Chains A and B, each alone.
Chain A
Amino acid sequence: MFAEFLQYLFTGITIGATYALIALGFTLIYNASHVINFAQGEFLMIGGMATVSLIGLGFPLPVAMLGAILLAAVMGIALQRFAIAPAKQADPVTLIIITIGASIFIRGIAQLVWGRGYHSMPNFSGNEPVNIGGAVVSTQTFWVLGVAAVLVAALVLFFTRTMIGKAILATSMNKVAARLVGIRTEMVLMLAFLLSAVLGSIAGIIVAPITFTSYDIGIILGLKGFVAASLGGLGSGMGAIVGGLLLGVVEAMTAGYISSDYKDAVAFGMIILVLFFMPRGLMGARVVERV
């Protein structure tokens, strides 16, 4: 009984940590530019798929991962440079369609290069699962949780201790004022997309051994990240982490105790319900609208 619960909890936290990383990617870009990047999920797809194919070419795992992250980083910058920057004055709904167009474009290329099949990636360390309180836990789970924790800690340090991190924060608070004190806000925007792409691709790589990967996993993962980010409150880093973990656990519990067919429906139902009562998510800032 308890072992069962523990099993679902581990599954939920693992997938939740991935959602949290995706949601953090959304948050980074949202804060810097007020754009919701619907192509965020494609960074995960690129991370997983490129790693698998580089391993297939004979590269060792760490090199393959580095290659995949680099590829995603280049894509992130290209997305900002060629798709978002030229459409500066566009409506939010237009920006949504541009990023969706970008995600379809990236998916189309991935399908050309890697085909439509599913690909699997080996665990980073050993296939022998660990037994914790009766729950069977894959070693990859620890990699996911560990890497996610390190990334979050690194982000916190980056934003509080480095000049560049503080510049990004300043830009997200007030773009004009940031420019007045000498921050190059165009660079900040590009950096936000770069960081977001790196985060996404790492999330895609660490979760690939658990979930498999294919050219079209980006859509649903991206949407789940958007749900997690809205759940926590758009723009809040802490909210993204809480939202991601909560979403993952709720999904796993629904799949375990109620119905796996309806786990996504429960997740989407939860976000509607939360927004009914807290229109800016769990930790979103209250904003006064100016007329």
Chain B
Amino acid sequence: MLKSLLHNRLSGLLLLAIVIFVLPVFFNNPFHYDMATQIAIYATTVVGLNLLVGFAGQISLGHAGFFGVGAYFSAIMTGVYGWPPVITLLLGAVLVGFLAFVVGRPILRLKGYYLSMATLALGFIIAIIINNEGWLTGGPDGMPVPSLSVFGWELSTFSSYSFLGMTISGSLAWYWLAGVLLLLGVWLAQNLIDSPIGRALRSVHGSEVAASVVGVDTARFKNLVFVISAVYASLMGSLYAHFQGFITPDIAGFMESIILVTMVVLGGMGSTIGVILGAVLLTLLPQLLADFHEYEMMMFGLILMLTMIFMPKGLLPTTQRFIRSRLSKKKGEQA
């Protein structure tokens, strides 16, 4: 039972749906919902990033740049020019997808540390532009973002709505939206992984030369997954901007890119449920460490270092292996 749950992909999705559905039972104030929404947004972002890092084996140290472009595109177009949010969000994703497509080809020819250097540089350039073009982006001080609205119906964490006779708060509504999008993101990612594209990507991860020898167009597939992961980041960036109502250039910065990659590696590269766990932990950690005040930074670095040293494969794969070895041991004893 436990074993089949660990193996079957669909059951992972089901498990996640149950968790998202049941979790509100334990929430008793809007802050909990807001944290959960933020986690879901980051989790969806890293589910996309995991396709690139975990499955295709390509490191990106600049992914927050795409997240930032999505967020600022939405903020500027809806706030300054009055575009409708949902259409802007989709257009932003198309823009970012195109950007990733154009820079992806030459950048993804690079390998290993050179690839991390180039993606890091790309992210940095985006963050610098956002920081410097203050007339448009508000510069380092950040800028306000209008709330998400469809046909004049506004979704704000400050208001409440009646739905099928029930009154639900804006925070709860946002939580459901982010939760459903997370499920959708996971479902799409898992379908992609099990498709021929996914197999091609895993062959690239295994050995790029071997993959191209057996006829996989490695450049095309790498570029495709780069675009897909960038689109995930852009959509979530836009959503994050509307949810927070205020954004600063930090969301596109180097540290943010590192945090995104760390979510993937900490949770477990290549494990969709694992990276969601990574997003949960890394979003909650600063909240938990805030009580340590001046020790916060030191503790954060220490925890990061220790988990990666002792669980280099990530939390979920390490735990899974532990459970599996326990199960087989038990079986051995029974026999």
B262 CB within 8 Å of chain A: yes
Chain A residues within 8 Å of B111, by CB: 279
B27 CB within 8 Å of chain A: no
Interface residue stretch chosen among A10-18, A64-72, A95-103, A139-147: A95-103
Determine which residue in B121, B213, B262, B266 has the highest number of CB atoms from chain A within 10 A of its CB, and name it: B121
Across the interface, do B121 and A268 meet the contact criterion of CB distance under 8 Å?
Answer: yes
With beta carbons under 8 angstroms apart, the residue of A83, A106, A276, A291 that contacts B309 is: A83
Given the contacts A92-B59, A269-B125, A223 and B301 also touching, CB distance less than 8 Å: no
**A84-100, CB under 8 A of B: which get 1 and which 0?**
00110111111011101
Across the interface, do B129 and A265 meet the contact criterion of CB distance under 8 Å?
Answer: yes
A264 CB within 8 Å of chain B: yes
**Smallest beta-carbon distance B301→chain A, Å:** 3
**A268-280, CB under 8 A of B: which get 1 and which 0?**
1101100110011
Which applies to chain B's interface (DSSP): helix, strand, loop or mixed? helix
Q: CA–CA, A104 to B265, complex, Å?
A: 17
Chain B residues within 8 Å of A91, by CB: 265, 269, 312
Interface residue stretch chosen among A108-116, A120-128, A130-138, A186-194: A108-116
With beta carbons under 8 angstroms apart, the residue of B120, B207, B210, B312 that contacts A89 is: B312
Chain A residue with the shortest CB-CB distance to B258: A100
Chain B residue with the shortest CB-CB distance to A276: B106
Given the contacts A91-B269, A107-B297, A275-B110, A262 and B118 also touching, CB distance less than 8 Å: no
Across the interface, do A93 and B125 meet the contact criterion of CB distance under 8 Å?
Answer: no
Chain A residues within 8 Å of B122, by CB: 268, 272
Chain A residues within 8 Å of B59, by CB: 92-93, 96
Across the interface, do B301 and A93 meet the contact criterion of CB distance under 8 Å?
Answer: no
Q: CA–CA, A109 to B305, complex, Å?
A: 14
Across the interface, do A98 and B309 meet the contact criterion of CB distance under 8 Å?
Answer: yes
Chain B residues within 8 Å of A94, by CB: 265, 308, 312
Determine which residue in B112, B262, B296, B305 has the highest number of CB atoms from chain A within 10 A of its CB, and name it: B305
Given the contacts A265-B124, A272-B122, A103 and B301 also touching, CB distance less than 8 Å: yes
A8 CB within 8 Å of chain B: no
Question: Which residues in chain B, 15-66, are within 8 Å of chain A measured between CB atoms?
Answer: 53, 59, 61
Using C-beta atoms within 8 Å of the partner chain, give the interface range for chain B. 35 or more
Q: CA–CA, A261 to B125, complex, Å?
A: 11
Question: Which residues in chain B, 88-147, are within 8 Å of chain A measured between CB atoms?
Answer: 106-107, 109-114, 116-118, 120-122, 124-125, 128-129, 132
**Smallest beta-carbon distance A43→chain B, Å:** 15
Chain A residues within 8 Å of B83, by CB: none
Chain A residues within 8 Å of B53, by CB: 93
Chain A residues within 8 Å of B110, by CB: 275, 279
**Smallest beta-carbon distance A40→chain B, Å:** 13
Chain B residues within 8 Å of A223, by CB: 120, 124, 254
Across the interface, do A92 and B297 meet the contact criterion of CB distance under 8 Å?
Answer: no
Across the interface, do B298 and A112 meet the contact criterion of CB distance under 8 Å?
Answer: yes
B209 CB within 8 Å of chain A: yes
Q: How many residues of A contact B (CB 8 A)?
A: 47
Which applies to chain A's interface (DSSP): helix, strand, loop or mixed? helix
**Smallest beta-carbon distance A256→chain B, Å:** 17
Across the interface, do B301 and A272 meet the contact criterion of CB distance under 8 Å?
Answer: no
Q: CA–CA, A164 to B262, complex, Å?
A: 37
Chain A residues within 8 Å of B254, by CB: 219, 223
Q: CA–CA, A30 to B53, complex, Å?
A: 22
Across the interface, do B298 and A105 meet the contact criterion of CB distance under 8 Å?
Answer: yes
Determine which residue in B109, B303, B306 has the highest number of CB atoms from chain A within 10 A of its CB, and name it: B306
A234 CB within 8 Å of chain B: yes
Chain B residues within 8 Å of A106, by CB: 301
Across the interface, do B114 and A280 meet the contact criterion of CB distance under 8 Å?
Answer: yes
Across the interface, do B113 and A101 meet the contact criterion of CB distance under 8 Å?
Answer: no
Across the interface, do A230 and B305 meet the contact criterion of CB distance under 8 Å?
Answer: no
Across the interface, do B297 and A111 meet the contact criterion of CB distance under 8 Å?
Answer: yes
B333 CB within 8 Å of chain A: no
Chain A residues within 8 Å of B288, by CB: none
Q: CA–CA, A271 to B269, complex, Å?
A: 28
Q: CA–CA, A86 to B303, complex, Å?
A: 15
**Smallest beta-carbon distance A201→chain B, Å:** 19
**Smallest beta-carbon distance A111→chain B, Å:** 6
**B239-283, CB under 8 A of A: which get 1 and which 0?**
000000000000000100010011001100100000000000000
Across the interface, do A279 and B109 meet the contact criterion of CB distance under 8 Å?
Answer: yes
Across the interface, do B113 and A92 meet the contact criterion of CB distance under 8 Å?
Answer: yes
Across the interface, do A271 and B308 meet the contact criterion of CB distance under 8 Å?
Answer: no
With beta carbons under 8 angstroms apart, the residue of B124, B132, B209, B262 that contacts A291 is: B209
**Smallest beta-carbon distance A227→chain B, Å:** 7
Chain B residues within 8 Å of A199, by CB: none
A226 CB within 8 Å of chain B: yes
Across the interface, do A104 and B117 meet the contact criterion of CB distance under 8 Å?
Answer: no
Q: CA–CA, A219 to B113, complex, Å?
A: 17
A75 CB within 8 Å of chain B: no
A36 CB within 8 Å of chain B: yes
With beta carbons under 8 angstroms apart, the residue of A92, A96, A101, A262 that contacts B301 is: A101
Chain B residue with the shortest CB-CB distance to A90: B312
Across the interface, do B300 and A104 meet the contact criterion of CB distance under 8 Å?
Answer: yes
Chain A residues within 8 Å of B300, by CB: 104, 108
Chain A residue with the shortest CB-CB distance to B106: A276
- Show the binding face of B for A, using Cβ within 8 Å: 53, 59, 61, 106-107, 109-114, 116-118, 120-122, 124-125, 128-129, 132, 207-210, 213, 254, 258, 261-262, 265-266, 269, 294-306, 308-310, 312
A-B contacts besides A93-B116, A101-B304, 17 pairs, CB < 8 Å: A83-B305, A87-B308, A87-B309, A87-B312, A90-B308, A92-B112, A101-B301, A108-B296, A108-B301, A226-B117, A234-B114, A261-B128, A265-B132, A275-B118, A279-B110, A280-B114, A291-B210
